[in-house]
Structure 1
Amino acid sequence: MPFIGVGIASLAVVICIVLLSRKAAKKHFLELVEQSKTDFPKIEEFFSSLNTLSEHYISKSDEQVFKQQWESFYTEIQKRHYPSKLPDYEKIAYFLETFLNINLEISNRNDVFLQKEMRESDSLLSNIDGKSLDEQQRKVVISDEDKTLVLAGAGSGKTLTIAAKVKYLCEVKNIAPKDILLISFTNKSAAEMTERIQNKLGIPVEATTFHKLGLDIIKNDLGYRPEVTDDLTTFVHNFFEKELLNHPDLVQSLTEYFTYYLDIPENMEDCDSLGELYEREKSADLETLKSKYDREHFIKDISSEKAKNLTTLNGERVKSIEETKIANFLFMHGVNYEYEKLYPFESDETNRKAYRPDFYLTDYDIYLEHFGISRDNKCPWLSEVEEKKYLDGINWKREFHKKNGTKLIETYSYYTKEGRLLPELEKLLQSNGVTFEPHDFTDIFETIYAKKSNKYFSEFIKLCCTFITLFKSNNFKMEQFELMKKQSAELENDFLYQRNCIFLDIARIILSEYQKYLAENKSVDFSDMINDAAAKVEAGASIPKYSYVIVDEYQDISQSRFNLLKSIVTATNAKLLCVGDDWQSIYRFAGSDISLFTDFERYLGYTNLLKIEKTYRNSQELINEASRFVTRNPLQLRKNLISGKELKYPLVFWGYDKEPYPALSQVMQRIISEFGPEKSILLLGRTNYDIEILKASGLFSVSWQNRVEKLTYLPSPKTPVAFLSVHKSKGLEADNVVLVNFKNDKLGFPNQIEDDKVLNFVLTHGENYIFAEERRLFYVAITRTKNRTFVLTDNQRPSIFFREFNESESCCFVHIRQNDDASKTHCPRCKIGELLKVEHDGKSFIGCSNYPKCRYTLNNISILSSPKQCPSCGGFLVKRKGNRGHWFIGCTNYPYCEHTEQIQKLKI
């Protein structure tokens, strides 16, 4: 029974606790009701402030200030845990949800504002210089974010959009014209922008360039205008022409660079076949230094009349970049050699071809063979049977030398992979008693490379100027060269390390002399001037209190210009609008750094990314093809360009076999017959040298007007024609376009000197995608047209870009040698070459189209008419006669392959 008493007492306690809790809860609820009477007005104030903010475009800075203003109140409301039965609880819940998702709320309100403002500003936006803006252009005009990047496609009317933005700011937002800083990149584009805004729209805003802007800042700060020069290229040309011989170390570095390091040899182990290696090396210069040197001396020695008549001189060309480097090393070190000299002893094997070792060192009676094998003595790029043939061939050569008492020394392709071909060659020669008598570097350089007509050297000068421009744009100091060398030392390839070091030594000397030149003339160049201007702004120099900074062609921004731009925006708290197209970023040689565009937000903070995607120049078919091509590089920003124009086959690849002149004539006739003689034709070259193609064609006369070469198309003199390099054509358009040099060559398209990886040292983020800038340049070339772009394509050595195009409604092939694999008999050795019938000394046999690189041959020409592949090794099955006189089907790779079939099973 006592337990019952305890239970009742406990129950009473529980009841008391419950009653007290209810009382406390009621009290708390009543307190919350009272608190809500204080909070509700603040919540209404929150929404009132948000509605007021929504009367204009809410920028990220507006949003951050608003959030900071209400963050503590939001936290307090959260802590109070208002119950849902509270009167008007919906107001609290709505506030909490709105603030929690304030980013989305503001984005939605901005969308509403944009639609409303576009309706109210329709009359203004429908008549900008007589043109009406599309919806994307209108969003650019009305949006008012702190930082805005506009992706504008080729021919999308970005200049019109910028002019409309200025008009809207001045006439609708009442921004004073003097508070708008409008920047373009060239005097011409700035003048055109000013003309459009001042004369056509009646708004007194003057566009400027970065150069003028920087000069004005320095002049205002110093009280005088500094002397500014822009002749780096002229200086470098003059320096090489007049001062080079005073710098023997530079002469040596230049000669070594061109002798050994201009071409980077391919790693055979990265190739699936020999044919792939041959394709990669098609652009390489395989003429030896000895051949070039002897030819120049021959031309000097013969009479002037003979020199005029001299058209060609057979040169010594080797089979690979590796062999070129070996030959050049021998020549530079005074080691006399003969290339592929016939071995003086004949083999007893009647089927064995005449033996020609790679090199014969004439003063030492030593033979040098360069064997294409990996470190583990294999050839993974060959088929199993071809590998066995090649390795057996190596052993045969070794034994043949032993048998005849001749000395054989060897180098191997895996030396190239490991970046030590030249050091190993040097050690090998010295250990075999070969002494070096090095050629005079100055003599070699002056004889072969120093001439202005040497295109490779001229392009190399451009590469040096690009490097120095980017170096100075980054405001690097001389100490940076040693840091770059240390960075190169991390490479696990001695060849690339040495290549980088030699180039850096060359660039360092040129830059040092250039800086002396500037100091002696008491001047600065544009990079120095812009860097100085940025430093002055950061240090508090007086500049106008801009409200808006608008930059046209932003894809051309350099590091120094970016620093100046950022310093101005930071100092003035101005809103920044940058308009450009990363697909058309092609001025790296002038210092532009594409990562400042593609990584815009990383450098400048939150960014409103807008797009102008409707193009008014190209057909949709051309846009599709050009967009697909340029976005093969995954780092290019994506746009979905659209056009109201349709035209089948706007991109035409027109093939030629030897010289481009007949193809050029046919293309010009085709354009004029289809579009009329009054329509403009723009002829484009990858470099200025390509105008020589036009001059040599006999189709054009060339005259000079105002220091510019003017073309006349002789068969139709009234047809407007012009020649420009692709770089100079950017921003222009013509009715039709002809690209005249689309081949796989060091100076073809892509240009393989200007796109050198050494530039990654001076780019904010190096581009690792192969030929990234050249890809953008080709995009610019083919989109200059209103109708069609014709691309003259070398059938023998088509550009590596060509393989990315296929025939479609967008793309047409004319006289293109089709790669119809079904109709070809492929070489079983290199796997890519085509087997062809060859006539020599009255005999017929089969050879490879990749000769002399690939020397595969067969005597049985019947396989071309009905090739049957051996199922065992990939060779060919042919009719053979056995020892006992009976016929059977056997493999051309016998005795390496002993596959046979009865003659009844296969008809040949």
Structure 2
Amino acid sequence: MTTSWTPSGWRTFVTRTAVWSAEILGDDLVITYDGSAKRLPLLSLGPARARTGMMSSSVRWGDPPSLTLRGLSRRDARHLRDTVDGERERVLDRIRLAQLIDEFDELAASVRNWARGFFAGAKAHLAGSGWLTREFTAEWQQARPEDKRGTLSVRLQLTEHRAGQAGDILEALDLWSADLAAYVAQWNERFLAREIQVNRRFFDSVERSPLTVEQARAVVCFDNRVQLIASAGSGKTSTMIAKAGYAVRRGIVPAEQILMLAFNSRAAAELRGRVTERLSPLGLASDKIVAQTFHSFGLAVIGQATGRKPSVAPWVEQTGGDTEKLARIVDVLRDADRGFRTEWDLFRLVFGRDLPEFGQEEADPDGWDGANRREGFRTLGGQVVRSQGERLIADWLFYNGVDYIYEGRYEVDTVDASHSQYQPDFFYPTISVYHEHFALDRNGRPPEEFEGYLEGVIWKRATHAENGTTLIETTMADLWEGDAFGYLTDQLTSRGISLDPNPDRPTVGQPPIESERLIATFRSFMVHAKGNQLSDEQLLERVRAGSSDRFRFRHEMFLRLYCAIRQEWERELTRHDCIDFEDMLNLAADHVESGRWRSPFRLVMVDEMQDASYARARLARALVNRPGRYLFAVGDDWQSINRFAGADLSVMTGFEDWFGPGEVLRLERTFRCPQSICDVSSRFIAKNPLQLRKRVVSSTTEYRSSVRAIAAASDNDVPGVISKHLADLNDRIAAGATPPGRGGRVSVFILGRYRHQEGFMPPSSALRKWTHLDVRFSTIHAAKGLEADYVIIPGLTRDKSAFPSRTADDPVLRLAMPTGEPFPHAEERRLFYVALTRARRSVTLVTVRHRESKFLVELVKEQGIRMTLAGGGASRVIHCAGCADGLMVPRSGAYGRFYGCSNFPKCKQTMKEAAAQADPS
């Protein structure tokens, strides 16, 4: 169609329009009137509007119209409108494209400069560690030129211009558009492969055995934060030594700027010895590398920052010295402060257990009343009461020497069609007063599921009113809020009963908490509270802010005792001009964080990170909280067993939250345990879904019966079972049936959950006869980091010295400790894992028949571990079908022998003796 327009003759006549013509020339619309032309830039016109009429149509621009062309046909008007608008957009597109190209070129130049800087920095890293760190990546990610308008995105109109750019521009644009973190990861992977190959000779000779690929990777990886999750026996110490040597050899970090921090003095000494032994022959400055415990390092920091190196309290440096000191402090306070003595005794005897949740007073009974054939809760006085609240009251009465009758017959006959004979909870015969303890909240309401309970309360009150007998009442709300015992004191003493508090009154029932255990609880609480820098006021605020009323009164009582103990502890520290470990770690962290002590260390390596407390983690973080610093944290959350001593597992499992993003590597190949032990122990620990995942693979020889269990007939038979097992082992080595170990002897650990289990050690006369054995006892905690050819774990039973321990952490510790773990026996499970993984050849688990540990039962039931009787033959384990947790054990009753659940009275499942003997389990 034409690109020029003019009105038709008859339309100009009808509309009386002057003759005109219009055409598009270049970027202008040219309009001619009477031979005179006027050029209008298309960009000045704006959008056109076509107006159609019956006789004539027009095209207008502007509102109000600044230009109108009349006398057109409808078709020509639309054509003029569309053509001018289209040409106008073409001009706009050309201008936009020119602007885009200018903007593109400017941004591309910035991107090229950015890319040049990135590559120059990467090459500089190659000359150093070679590893592109998170710090480096974050720096260049932040410096990455912004493209707010999307100019550098792949646009169709810029395709030709982009394709014509120089090679360096295109390369820079590719880098700019890539995921920088992924690009850096690929760069590091290529560097890693080359570096391992180039340094193969060093990696093969720096330790006694060549490093594995996993170990070499951990050595070469020099990100700012590296977490190495190391399986038991996977050579983590070798990796740390090799990394220090590699850093010095490659010139990444000078020897004097390398710090190794260990959890205890034994580990620190091992690190120092291995550094000297392995790096000195290679000509590396091993003597300049610092390997210390957190404690000794912290003391040095304080001394250098203040000019006065403090002394550590001698009682915290001695094993058990801290609890002995705390016991003496408690004795002093009990002698000097009658109020403290009363609260201490009351807490130990009466409040040793936490109160149940509302409506759960009768849950988990632990006693059986044979005379009345009912379950319940055993008191200090030997009775079995129905609820935990009643036990608390009964224990308080026992402590105060108050004579009472539990659930005796009411003095009036109450039997009718609706009620049996009334038996009030407590009756005080010397004053003829009855006492009911009701499961009511502060609003006088029972738990919703207690149907008819409130009616019973009303009936009991009415019964006393009708018969003129005296009733006093307590409720669960009274116990929670701490009002119950003040009320009882007033009610009983005002009626003539004299309270006679006596903590030494002989108990015939449930024993109270031992003073030693309670002191250990206070010491553990103090370690966590001081380590986490929680003041007495902050702890009290935590209690008040707690959502559970049932804890408040007991926890407030605990805190009153703790505050007095802590104040005396601090006075003792001041009197001896010394500090404890928690003070030391926090003071050291304060000096580093504030800059009063400037760390010379660029590479900080932390061993056993799973045992780090809040204070240790804080100090480690402060040491690397500057650019160009490297943290290499080695540990295994599966072996975190020191929560009682302040360990915070979240330092390991929440590593990034503590220290920032970094590499997470694993050592999954073990040089200690055979694969069968690896599989059993890994499946066992992995039952807890919160443990970090890993697949442990063994490089060691497999031995027959690597995990076995033996059931002794009784506790008294256990030492004999162990001695026979050791004698048989000695004989097999002497006969050549079992290969000897290093130096012709094999090492054997007898590992106890408790220190008193050292009594399972054979007599020295027997040990001397077994010339092929080196037998030692250790607690499992003390054996952490050690190994032996053979491991024996006795005491796998369900009793007072059970494994898993039946003594759970006191809930009050949650006020000061890291968040508890929801998985049952989580730390005990890790402790058992540590015990299993000390063995290079085999593990023997020793139990007592019919009292097998939950852990052992799990291994038998779920992993097929074979259990034999000490005298020979298979030992069958019959699982309780009722609770799925207990074992069916032989019992005697009025009708002869039968089998009942080991969790009785909590579970009353039974089976006939014949059925038990026929059970295929």
Q: TM-score, normalised by structure 1?
A: 0.74
Equivalent position SS for 1:814 = strand
**In 2: Cα distance, 1:133 partner to 1:625 partner:** 26
Equivalent position SS for 1:609 = strand
Q: Tell me how far 1:517 sits from its aligned partner.
A: 0.7
**In 2: Cα distance, 1:40 partner to 1:175 partner:** 32
Q: Are 2:340 and 1:250 equivalent residues in the alignment?
A: yes
Amino acid at match of 1:289: L
Q: Are 2:694 and 1:694 equivalent residues in the alignment?
A: no
Contact 2:857 2:877 in 1 (8 A): no
Q: Are 2:251 and 1:173 equivalent residues in the alignment?
A: yes
**In 1: Cα distance, 2:473 partner to 2:348 partner:** 22
Matches within 5 A, 1:805-824: 805-807=859-861, 811-815=865-869, 818-820=876-878
Matches within 5 A, 1:301-316: none
- The more displaced of 778-787 and 516-525 is 778-787
Q: Partner residue of 1:651?
A: 707
Q: Partner residue of 1:310?
A: none
**In 1: Cα distance, 2:822 partner to 2:907 partner:** 35
**In 1: Cα distance, 2:84 partner to 2:647 partner:** 82
Q: Partner residue of 1:871?
A: none
Q: Partner residue of 2:310?
A: 226
Q: 1:774 aligns with which of 828, 831, 850?
A: 828
Q: Partner residue of 2:815?
A: 761
Matches within 5 A, 1:429-440: 430=491, 436-440=497-501
Q: Partner residue of 2:144?
A: 70
Q: Are 2:797 and 1:743 equivalent residues in the alignment?
A: yes
Q: In terms of Rg, which structure is larger?
A: 2
**In 1: Cα distance, 2:170 partner to 2:208 partner:** 51
Q: 2:230 aligns with which of 136, 152, 156?
A: 152
Q: Tell me how far 1:483 sits from its aligned partner.
A: 1.4
Q: 2:522 aligns with which of 435, 440, 464?
A: 464
**In 1: Cα distance, 2:397 partner to 2:367 partner:** 26
Contact 1:463 1:754 in 2 (8 A): no
Q: 2:540 aligns with which of 476, 482, 493?
A: 482
Contact 1:742 1:799 in 2 (8 A): yes
Contact 2:229 2:634 in 1 (8 A): yes
Q: Tell me how far 1:774 sits from its aligned partner.
A: 2.4
Amino acid at match of 1:99: W
Amino acid at match of 1:256: L
What is the CA deviation profile of residues 740-779 of structure 1, one whole-angstrom value per residue up to 9, with x for unaligned ones? 3233445533335462222221234443444332222222
Q: Are 2:554 and 1:491 equivalent residues in the alignment?
A: no
Q: Are 2:611 and 1:559 equivalent residues in the alignment?
A: no
Q: Are 2:661 and 1:606 equivalent residues in the alignment?
A: yes
Q: Partner residue of 1:312?
A: none
Q: Partner residue of 1:98?
A: 175
Q: Partner residue of 1:143?
A: 221
Contact 2:367 2:378 in 1 (8 A): no
Change (3 A) 1:251 1:713: farther
**In 2: Cα distance, 1:36 partner to 1:835 partner:** 81
Contact 2:901 2:907 in 1 (8 A): no
Contact 1:217 1:543 in 2 (8 A): no
Change (3 A) 1:22 1:253: closer
Equivalent position SS for 1:83 = helix
CA-based RMSD? 5.0
Contact 1:340 1:356 in 2 (8 A): yes
Q: Are 2:116 and 1:45 equivalent residues in the alignment?
A: yes
Contact 2:348 2:513 in 1 (8 A): no
Q: Tell me how far 1:114 sits from its aligned partner.
A: 0.8
What is the CA deviation profile of residues 401-437 of structure 1, one whole-angstrom value per residue up to 9, with x for unaligned ones? 99xx99898999x949995899399669949997543
Q: Tell me how far 1:119 sits from its aligned partner.
A: 0.9
Amino acid at match of 2:299: L
Q: Partner residue of 1:163?
A: 241
Equivalent position SS for 1:731 = coil
- The more displaced of 330-339 and 228-237 is 330-339
**In 2: Cα distance, 1:731 partner to 1:744 partner:** 27
- The more displaced of 786-795 and 208-217 is 786-795
Contact 2:111 2:173 in 1 (8 A): no
Q: Tell me how far 1:602 sits from its aligned partner.
A: 0.9
Q: Partner residue of 1:300?
A: none
Contact 2:115 2:176 in 1 (8 A): no
Q: Tell me how far 1:84 sits from its aligned partner.
A: 1.5
Amino acid at match of 1:786: R
% identical aligned pairs:
23
**In 2: Cα distance, 1:748 partner to 1:50 partner:** 59
**In 2: Cα distance, 1:104 partner to 1:809 partner:** 41
**In 1: Cα distance, 2:875 partner to 2:388 partner:** 27
Q: Are 2:499 and 1:444 equivalent residues in the alignment?
A: no
**In 2: Cα distance, 1:866 partner to 1:226 partner:** 69
Contact 2:610 2:636 in 1 (8 A): yes
Contact 2:879 2:888 in 1 (8 A): no
Amino acid at match of 1:168: Y
Change (3 A) 1:29 1:819: closer
**In 2: Cα distance, 1:831 partner to 1:687 partner:** 24
Equivalent position SS for 1:786 = strand
Equivalent position SS for 2:803 = coil
Q: Are 2:730 and 1:730 equivalent residues in the alignment?
A: no
**In 2: Cα distance, 1:37 partner to 1:376 partner:** 75
Change (3 A) 1:540 1:174: closer
Q: Partner residue of 2:672?
A: 617
Q: Partner residue of 2:380?
A: 289
**In 2: Cα distance, 1:459 partner to 1:439 partner:** 25
Contact 1:664 1:792 in 2 (8 A): no
What is the CA deviation profile of residues 776-802 of structure 1, one whole-angstrom value per residue up to 9, with x for unaligned ones? 222212222222333333455544444
Q: Partner residue of 1:473?
A: 531
Q: Partner residue of 2:603?
A: 548
Q: Partner residue of 1:788?
A: 842
Contact 1:228 1:523 in 2 (8 A): yes
Change (3 A) 1:523 1:164: same
Q: For this pair of structures, how many residues does the alignment match? A: 791
Mark the runs of 5 or more structure 2 residues left unpaired by the alignment.
1-7, 9-70, 281-285, 316-321, 370-374, 734-744, 917-921
What is the CA deviation profile of residues 433-454 of structure 1, one whole-angstrom value per residue up to 9, with x for unaligned ones? 97543223xx4159789xxx99
What is the CA deviation profile of residues 165-189 of structure 1, one whole-angstrom value per residue up to 9, with x for unaligned ones? 0110011235321011111122221
Matches within 5 A, 1:628-647: 628-645=683-700, 646-647=702-703
Q: Tell me how far 1:733 sits from its aligned partner.
A: 1.2
Contact 2:333 2:341 in 1 (8 A): no
Change (3 A) 1:367 1:806: farther
Matches within 5 A, 1:356-435: 361-363=428-430, 415=476, 419=480, 423=484, 430=491
**In 1: Cα distance, 2:394 partner to 2:206 partner:** 66
Q: Partner residue of 1:297?
A: none
Amino acid at match of 2:706: P
Q: Partner residue of 1:301?
A: none
Q: Partner residue of 1:211?
A: 295
**In 2: Cα distance, 1:454 partner to 1:268 partner:** 24
Amino acid at match of 1:156: S
Q: Partner residue of 1:305?
A: none
Q: Partner residue of 1:905?
A: none
Change (3 A) 1:27 1:682: closer
Change (3 A) 1:263 1:741: farther
**In 2: Cα distance, 1:715 partner to 1:411 partner:** 69
Change (3 A) 1:558 1:497: same
Amino acid at match of 1:729: A
Amino acid at match of 1:789: V
Q: Are 2:177 and 1:114 equivalent residues in the alignment?
A: no
Change (3 A) 1:61 1:446: farther
Equivalent position SS for 1:84 = helix
**In 1: Cα distance, 2:448 partner to 2:799 partner:** 28
Equivalent position SS for 1:138 = helix
Contact 2:433 2:472 in 1 (8 A): no
